[in-house]
């Protein structure tokens, strides 16, 4: 394990995913989520092919040891992508990003429940605080605290939360898959699965021929999403999922800047308060890790959080 390499890959994936999300959001008024899933996945394939060529791993990219593992990864991942893209169409970018912060928090809980990771008092307390922050973000959309919520935004909040839950399950599943599957095969077959899943939505949604600008946005979203997926899948080879989870919070800075400058979205006070709570919880975990100065190997064996 080399945790700093894992952290660098995680941050790179976060940046790319925010750019991709902004492009998909820009296209959401014109194309349905299923069509966006198809473009994001299909146009990620050239990036994956280039990556395989550079690594001389075309055969490794096609070879699998656990076909059903890839099937489950594709089904759950495609569902999470669909929900996340739908949420982007209904909510401001910073708010959708903030609700998505439930994913790394849930991942820590799922890792403790299903993977046997030792999550002790400090980290568990930080996770609980972070979840409180997510609830603060959600409250104006699902309650009448600030007047009757917009039904579409209410739906968007629930959809975003569902996507975050599925994303956490996917990340935990990927971490288990890398024990037997190559990174290249995981990335390749995920993009193939989501491409097929996107096509399967044609009978259930009204696909459209995008305008030239939106067509470019969708292609760029796929290309950047492919890069992000490579980074995300690779980072779990170098560090534990529970260590990498807090670095998802860097996406808020990117989302705030893009949301304001591109979409004219002014963050609400509950969103800022809730996101601040979540980010503070993540920073607390990071500082605790640095203070302990543990190596990744020792951390896995004697997790003091």
Per-residue confidence in pLDDT tens, the chain, 305 aa: 578 888 888 889 989 999 999 999 999 999 999 999 999 999 999 998 888 888 777 776 678 888 888 888 889 999 999 999 999 999 999 999 988 888 878 888 888 887 777 777 887 888 889 889 988 988 887 776 666 678 888 899 999 999 999 998 988 888 788 788 877 788 888 899 999 999 999 988 789 999 999 999 999 999 998 888 788 777 877 877 667 767 777 888 889 989 999 999 988 888 899 989 988 887 776 666 656 554 333 333 323 22
**Dist CA 246 CA 255 (whole Å):** 16
**Dist CA 10 CA 237 (whole Å):** 11
Question: DSSP of 16-61, one letter per residue?
Answer: HHHHHHHHHHHHTTTS-HHHHHHHHHHTTHHHHHHHHHHHT-HHHH
Report pLDDT for 303.
31
Report pLDDT for 305.
27
**Dist CA 25 CA 23 (whole Å):** 5
260 exposure class (CB count in 10 Å sphere: 0-12, 13-18, 19+): middle
Angle between helices 67-90 and 93-100 (to 10 degrees): 140
Report pLDDT for 218.
96
**Dist CA 285 CA 108 (whole Å):** 12
Residues 280, 104 contacting (CB under 8 angstroms):
no
Tokens for 230, please give them.
């490579």
Report pLDDT for 294.
44
pTM: predicted TM-score of the whole model, two decimal places: 0.83
Report pLDDT for 146.
63
Question: Hey, CA dihedral for 281, 21, 112, 187, is it positive or negative?
Answer: negative
């Amino acid at each position: 394990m080399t945790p700093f390499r894992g952290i660098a890959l995680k941050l790179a994936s976060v940046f790319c995913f925010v750019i991709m999300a902004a492009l998909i959001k820009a296209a959401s008024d014109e194309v349905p989520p299923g069509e966006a899933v198809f473009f994001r996945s299909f146009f990620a394939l050239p990036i994956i092919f280039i990556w395989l060529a550079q690594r001389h791993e075309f055969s490794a990219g096609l070879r699998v040891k656990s076909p059903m593992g890839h099937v489950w990864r594709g089904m759950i991942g495609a569902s999470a992508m669909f929900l996340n893209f739908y949420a982007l169409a209904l909510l401001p970018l910073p708010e959708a990003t903030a609700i998505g912060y439930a994913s790394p928090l849930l991942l820590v809980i799922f890792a403790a429940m299903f993977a046997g990771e030792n999550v002790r008092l400090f980290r568990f307390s930080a996770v609980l605080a972070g979840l409180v922050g997510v609830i603060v973000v959600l409250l104006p959309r699902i309650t009448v605290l600030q007047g009757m919520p917009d039904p579409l935004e209410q739906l968007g909040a629930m959809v975003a939360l569902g996507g975050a839950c599925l994303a956490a399950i996917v990340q935990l599943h990927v971490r288990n898959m890398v024990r037997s599957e190559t990174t290249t095969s995981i990335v390749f077959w995920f993009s193939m699965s989501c491409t097929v899943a996107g096509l399967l939505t044609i009978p259930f949604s009204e696909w459209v021929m995008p305008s030239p600008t939106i067509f470019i946005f969708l292609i760029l979203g796929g290309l950047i999403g492919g890069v992000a997926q490579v980074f995300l899948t690779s980072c779990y080879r170098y560090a534990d999922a529970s260590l990498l989870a807090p670095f998802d919070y860097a996406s808020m800075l990117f989302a705030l800047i893009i949301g304001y400058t591109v979409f004219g979205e002014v963050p609400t006070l509950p969103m800022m308060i809730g996101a601040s709570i979540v980010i503070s919880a993540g920073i607390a975990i990071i500082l605790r890790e640095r203070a302990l100065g543990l190596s990744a190997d020792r951390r896995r064996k004697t997790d003091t959080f």
